[in-house]
Amino acid sequence: MSGQTRPVRVLRNLNAKIAAVPMILTTLVVFVGGTIWTVIYSFTNSKLLPKLQWVGTAQYERLWNNDLWNAAIHNLLFFGVMSMVFTIGIGFLLAVLMDQKIRFEDTFRTIMLYPFALSFIVTGLVWQWILDPGMGLQEVVRRMGWESFSFDPLHDPDTVLYGLLIAGLWQGTGFTMCLMLAGLRGIDEDIWKAARVDGIPRWKTYIFVVIPMMRPVFITTLVLVAAGIIKLYDLVVAQTNGNPGNASQMPAMYVYRYMFTAQNLGQGFAASTMMLLSVLIVLIPWAYLEFGGKKRG
């Protein structure tokens, strides 16, 4: 090993910069550039092709007067709230159960997590089949003798979102459990010892000590789940395709429809800008909590 040639400073930086070119292009051109482009064109009346013909906020007015969009937003809000409550609730409960020094922990984890490896398309299609009224779960219970049993969530506008929820929770709760379990395992053993010395029951320690301590984990999980829900697309396309009526339409489907099939780009841009806005509403307070105040190295 001869150590005579020290790397030249300019060249060293040059190499690193060349290596970072894909990242720089991605951030500047696609992430920043693409986002700004779409926001700008959402103020135009682009139809088949994007063109800079300003119409002010007309696209947004049209958007919020559109029944389909309002239905999609309503569905998203309902599904989102339900999904967050249950994902966090079930995820935490399972994590607590898994944290009781149980036997077969790895087996249970494998069982709970495997749906997360599967795509939303597979998830949607298999639950569509299980919830099939003519041959699925409902029919099985009926044939067992309970003739009036009715469980057909996917074909009733009032319950279709619960049908999606069953599938969504199946796919995602194992992952939440893993995040929560990592959080639980990160808690100092001494806390548990102190609680035991003080004679505090386990469940009380969970509620009053552990949950407050796990606040960052809960917040991170909530942000991840929320960001995922706003983008929700594949699951609905596979399981219900927005039916019955528009009872399971989602904003991402509205965007796709207007951008790629209805050839009304301006509407699609305005709708996707609203999606961005909703992500920012979730993200900015989180980023403030997470990064604000403390300096990161």
Partner 1 sequence: MADTVTPRGKRPQSRFTTNNIVLYGILGVMSIYYLLPLYVMVMTSLKDMVEIRVGNIFAPPVEVTFQPWIKAWSQACTGLNCDGLSRGFWNSVMITVPSVIISIIVASVNGYALVNWKFKGSEVFFTILIFGSFIPYQIMLYPIVIILRELGIYGTLSGLILVHTIFGMPILTLLFRNYFSSLPEELFKAARVDGAGFWGIYFQIMLPMSMPIFVVALILQITGIWNDFLFGVVFTKPEIYPMTVQLNNIVNSVQGVKEYNVNMAATMLTGLVPLIVYFVSGKLFVRGIAAGAVKG
Assess 1 for contact with partner 1 (CB under 8 A): yes
- Shortest distance, position 170 Cβ to partner 1, whole Å: 7
What are the E-state strand segments in the chain?
A: none
- Shortest distance, position 189 Cβ to partner 1, whole Å: 16
Q: What angle (nearest 5°) sits at the alpha carbon of residue 172, between those of residues 208 and 209?
A: 10
Q: Give the whole-angstrom CA distance, residue 144 versus residue 126.
A: 22
Structure tokens at 14: 């040059």
Structure tokens at 49: 């092709």
- Shortest distance, position 90 Cβ to partner 1, whole Å: 8
Question: Which residue, 56 or 216, has its beta carbon nearer to partner 1?
Answer: 216
- Shortest distance, position 154 Cβ to partner 1, whole Å: 13
Assess 129 for contact with partner 1 (CB under 8 A): yes
User: Considering CB under 8 A, how many residues would be counted as binding partner 1?
Assistant: 101
Q: Which of residues 18-47 bind partner 1 (CB under 8 A)?
A: 19-20, 22-24, 26-35, 37-39, 41
Assess 199 for contact with partner 1 (CB under 8 A): no
Structure tokens at 290: 């997470």
Task: Evaluate whether 120 touches 238 at the Cβ level (below 8 Å).
Answer: yes
Taking CB under 8 A as the binding criterion, the range among 1-9, 51-59, 63-71, 155-163 that sits at the site for partner 1 is 1-9
Question: Which residue, 55 or 276, has its beta carbon nearer to partner 1?
Answer: 276
Residue whose entry in the numeric block shows the structure tokens 């949950």: 211
To the nearest 10 degrees (0 to 180), the angle between helices 67-98 and 160-185 is 40
Assess 79 for contact with partner 1 (CB under 8 A): no
| Contact residue for partner 1 among 75, 238, 242, 257 (CB under 8 A) | 238
Taking CB under 8 A as the binding criterion, the range among 65-73, 81-89, 113-121, 188-196 that sits at the site for partner 1 is 113-121
Q: From the centroid of its chain, how far is CA 73?
A: 15
- Shortest distance, position 232 Cβ to partner 1, whole Å: 10
Element at 99 (helix H, strand E): none
Note the residue count of the chain: 297
Assess 150 for contact with partner 1 (CB under 8 A): no
| Contact residue for partner 1 among 50, 70, 74, 213 (CB under 8 A) | 50
Assess 135 for contact with partner 1 (CB under 8 A): yes
Element at 19 (helix H, strand E): helix 9-25
Question: Which residue, 211 or 224, has its beta carbon nearer to partner 1?
Answer: 224
Taking CB under 8 A as the binding criterion, the range among 57-65, 66-74, 78-86, 167-175 that sits at the site for partner 1 is 167-175
- Shortest distance, position 194 Cβ to partner 1, whole Å: 22
Phi-psi group of 8: left, alpha or beta (phi > 0 → left; psi -120 to 50 → alpha; rest → beta) = beta
Q: Give the whole-angstrom CA distance, residue 296 versus residue 256.
A: 38
What torsion do the CA atoms of 242, 246, 252, 256 make, to the nearest 10 degrees?
A: 80
Q: Which of residues 201-220 bind partner 1 (CB under 8 A)?
A: 220
